[in-house]
Amino acid sequence: MELHQTIRDLVSAHGPGILGDATGFRGVLDDVLDEGAASTGDINLLVDAVRFDVLTPLTQMIDGGADPGRAVEEAGARLARERGGDDHTSGAWAAAVLGYAVGRVPEAIVARYRSHRPPSSFAPPAAGQQPLQSPVQRPLQSPIAPPVPPAPPAGWPGMAPPPPPAPASSNPSPYAAPAGPPAYASPTGGTRRRSHKGIWIGAAVALVLVVGGGIGAAVALSGGSGPRHKDSGSDTSASALDSRYSGLGSSIAAGTSDCASGHRASGESEQVVCKVAGGRLTLTTYDSLSALKSARQARLDRRAGSITDNAGDSVYYSFDPHYGQHKSDPALIYWDAESGLQSATLQGAQGTPLTTVSSDFDKTGSTSSAPTGPMNATLQKFIGHFVNPSTCKPHALYDEGASEEVICSAKMADGTKVGVFFGRYPHHSGMFQQRAYYSKQYAAASKTGKGGHWKFGHQLDFYPGGAYYTYVSGGAAITYWDWNESSCNCWAFAVGPNSTSKMDAWWAKASKRQSY
C-alpha cells in the first residue's frame, strides 16, 4: 500500500482530527509504519504539513472553485516557504497527500509528485469491516505490570476481578491480558505509558460503587536547581511558622516537630523542614513568582497515581504510589500560594500510605484542597451529556501523561449499575492511543456491539468526530467512546452487564441527554 493510501486509511479510522495535531500525527505514523516504509524526510515533510496547517488553505481554495491541481501547487509553495526552502515539488506532494486523505484531492494528483516512494506495510481492513483495526501492528516492548485492582462488590452483574498481573519480563505480548498496553517511545522524547485498561473493569466497579470517594492526596519535593545553601537564624517555632506561612494554612505547623532551616536552592529565600507523623513537611518561600511557577511546573508531572488541581493562583497536587510503575516513590501532597510566593510539601516515609500523608495534610488547615469533581470545563460538558456530573469523583491517573481522570456512576432504566471513567489528555496523541487500544480490543473480542464513528448532534455545537466501541471482556460489557475536541481530547470508558445490546441501548439513550 502506498504511503498516501495508508494515511487515508488512518483518517478513516481516527477521523480528520488526526491531521490537526502534528505531535499526535507523528506518534501514530511511528506506530503504523515499519522501518523502511517511508523515509525520515518524507515523514518530517508530512508532519510539517500538519504543523503548518496546509490542509486549511488547500480545502478553502478548492471550496472556492480552484482546480485541485492548482490548489495543491499553491499550498505546496506555501509549505516550502514556511519550511524556509524552495522545494515546491515536495511541498505539493505533502499537500496532495493530506488533501487525498480527506477526500478533496484525486489520487492522480498525488501520483504526479514524487510517486517513487516505497509502499507502506500497513494492512488495510477487509472490505466492510467495522471498525477499522488499530494501526498499532508491530510489537512494542516492555509491557507494564499494572497494580492488582480492588475486588468488585458482591452482586455486581457478571463481574469477577482479573487475575494478578504477571511480571513484565514474563509477559512478552504487548496486548496480553492483564498487563495492558505497553510503553512506547514518544516522538517528542521520553517514554509514555498507554493506560492499564485491563485493570479498569474491577477498579471502576469497586471505586464507584464501594468507596464512592476517598480520593487521596500527595505531593512533591520542592523545586529549584543549582547549589543549595543552608539557612541559619530563622525562627522555626510553631507559632512563627504559623504566622509566616499563614497563606498556606491556618495551622501549618500542627503536628510538626524538630523544625529546622533547610538547604534552599537557587530562587528560594527560605526553606524549613519539619518532622510529621507520616514523614516530613517542607515549607519554601521563593524570591519571585517565576521561581515559584518553575518549581510548580517541575512538580506537576502527570505520572500515574497523581491528581492535580490548578485553581487560579494556587495548586493542589497529590501522588499515590499504589498506581503505575512508581511504587517505590514516596506518597506526596504539594500545594502552593502565589500570594505569599510559598509552597508546602508533605512527603511520606518509605512505605507510608497516602492516607497517612493526607491525615497530616488535614491538620494544617490548608488553603488548598483536593478536588471533589471534574475540573476542566470542557470535560464537565462532555460528562454532562452521559451521566450526572455530581456522581463523579476525581481519580488518580492510571494513564501516564493524562491531564485528568474521574470515575462516575450511572444506572440503566431497569436500575442496573454502570461504572464510568472519563478522562482527557493535553494533546490529540493521547486520545488517539486510547482509541487505537480499544479498537484493537474490539476487533479481538468474540462478542461485539456497535462500533465505528459517531458525533454529537449539530444542535449541541460540538465538533464532529469520535470513535465508539462495545464488546464483552472479562464477564462484562465494555463501551468506549471519545470526542476529538482540541480543548479536551476527551474519552470515556463504561462497564456494565454482560450484554452488548444493553450497553449500546444505555449509551444511545445517555448520549441524547442535554442536561441534568
pLDDT digits (tens, 9 = 90+) for 183-193: 322 323 333 33
Q: Which three cell numbers stand for residue 277?
A: 507523623
Q: What is the pLDDT of residue 224?
A: 41
Q: Which three cell numbers stand for residue 211?
A: 468507596
CA-nearest of 287, 243, 240, 246 to 260 is 240
Torsions phi, psi of 16, nearest 5? -65, -15
Residues forming a β-bridge with 428: none
- Answer with the residue of higher pLDDT: 319 or 451: 319
Q: What is the pLDDT of residue 154?
A: 33
**Residue 257 to residues 236, 275, 279, 280, 281, Cα–Cα distance (Å):** 10, 5, 11, 9, 10
Host H or E run for residue 49: helix 40-51
CA–CA separation, 398 vs 396, rounded Å?
6
Decide if 309 contacts 370 (C-beta within 8 A).
yes
- Answer with the residue of higher pLDDT: 503 or 513: 503
State CA 132 to chain mean position distance: 22
For the segment 459-500, what is each residue's pLDDT rounded down to a tens digit?
A: 443 445 688 999 998 778 899 999 877 788 899 989 888 899
Is the model's pLDDT at 146 over the cut of 50?
A: no
Decide if 100 contacts 107 (C-beta within 8 A).
yes
Is the model's pLDDT at 222 over the cut of 60?
A: no
How are beta strands 268-276 and 257-261 bridged, if at all? antiparallel
Q: What is the pLDDT of residue 433?
A: 84
CA dihedral of residues 73, 79, 82, 84 (deg, nearest 10): -80
**What pTM value is reported for the model?**
0.58
Q: Which three cell numbers stand for residue 243?
A: 504566622
Q: What is the pLDDT of residue 24?
A: 83
CA-nearest of 393, 397, 368 to 301 is 397
CA–CA separation, 235 vs 241, rounded Å?
8
Q: What is the pLDDT of residue 211?
A: 31
How are beta strands 279-286 and 393-394 bridged, if at all? unpaired
Cα-based angle 49, 491, 392 (whole degrees, multiple of 5): 145
CA dihedral of residues 181, 131, 485, 64 (deg, nearest 10): 140
State CA 154 to chain mean position distance: 31
- Answer with the residue of higher pLDDT: 182 or 12: 12
Cα-based angle 220, 223, 226 (whole degrees, multiple of 5): 140
Give the amino acid at 112: R
Lowest mean pLDDT among 64-68, 97-101, 172-176: 172-176
Place of cell 507502506: 120
**Helix, strand, coil: what percent of the chain each, to 5?**
35, 20, 45
Decide if 437 contacts 181 (C-beta within 8 A).
yes
Is the model's pLDDT at 169 over the cut of 80?
A: no
Q: Which three cell numbers stand for residue 367?
A: 488553603
Is the model's pLDDT at 259 over the cut of 90?
A: yes
Give the amino acid at 64: G
Query: Is the peptide bond preceding residue 131 cis, with omega within 30 degrees of 0?
Result: yes
How are beta strands 467-473 and 476-483 bridged, if at all? antiparallel
CA–CA separation, 167 vs 147, rounded Å?
11
Q: Which three cell numbers stand for residue 355?
A: 492516607
Lowest mean pLDDT among 146-160, 316-330, 411-425: 146-160
- Using DSSP's 3-state secondary structure scheme, residue 449 falls into strand
- Answer with the residue of higher pLDDT: 199 or 161: 199
Lowest mean pLDDT among 204-218, 275-289, 307-321, 416-430: 204-218
CA-nearest of 4, 392, 362 to 212 is 392
- Using DSSP's 3-state secondary structure scheme, residue 257 falls into strand
Lowest mean pLDDT among 67-76, 280-289, 362-371, 497-506: 67-76
